[in-house]
Amino acid sequence: MKKQCMVLLVENNAGVLARISSLFMQRGFNIDSLTVSSTENPKISRITIMTTGDQKNFSQIMKQTGKLVETKMIFSVEPTFSLIQELLLVKLSTDKADVEALKNIIKSFGANAVDITSGCLIAELAASSQKIDDFLEAISGFKMLEMCRSGAIAMERGDVFYELN
Note whether 117 and 149 are same-domain residues.
yes
The DSSP 8-state label assigned to residue 28 in this structure reads: T
Decide if 100 is inside a domain.
yes
Tell me the C-alpha distance between 82 and 121, whole Å.
32
- Residue 29 pLDDT: 84
Note whether 87 and 143 are same-domain residues.
yes
* CB within 8 Å of 66: residues ≥ 6 apart: 74
Q: Is 160 a residue whose pLDDT tops 80? A: no
The count of domains in the chain is 2
Note whether 101 and 125 are same-domain residues.
yes
What percent of the chain has a predicted confidence (pLDDT) above 90? 73
* Closest-CA residue to 84 (of 134, 120, 48, 32): 48
Tell whether the torsion through CA atoms of 77, 80, 82 and 86 is positive or negative.
positive
Render pLDDT for 65-99 as a digit per residue (tens, 0 to 9). 999 999 999 999 988 889 999 999 999 999 888 88
- Residue 165 pLDDT: 58
Q: Is 147 a residue whose pLDDT tops 80? A: yes
Phi, psi of 103 (to 5 degrees): -60, -35
Q: Which of 24, 47, 82 is the last residue of a domain?
A: 82
Note whether 52 and 90 are same-domain residues.
no
Render pLDDT for 27-67 as a digit per residue (tens, 0 to 9). 888 899 999 999 999 999 999 999 988 888 889 899 999 99
User: For position 120, which CATH number holds?
Assistant: 3.30.70.1150
Q: Could you tell me the pTM of the whole model?
A: 0.85
Q: Which of 56, 82, 108 is the last residue of a domain?
A: 82
- Categorize the per-residue pLDDT at 2 as very low, low, confident or very high, splitting at 50, 70 and 90: confident
CB 3 within 8 A of CB 52: yes
User: For position 55, which CATH number holds?
Assistant: 3.30.70.260
Note whether 74 and 90 are same-domain residues.
no
Domain region containing 102? 83-153
Burial code of 122-134, b = ≥16 C-beta within 10 A, e = fewer?
bbebebebebbee
Note whether 18 and 54 are same-domain residues.
yes
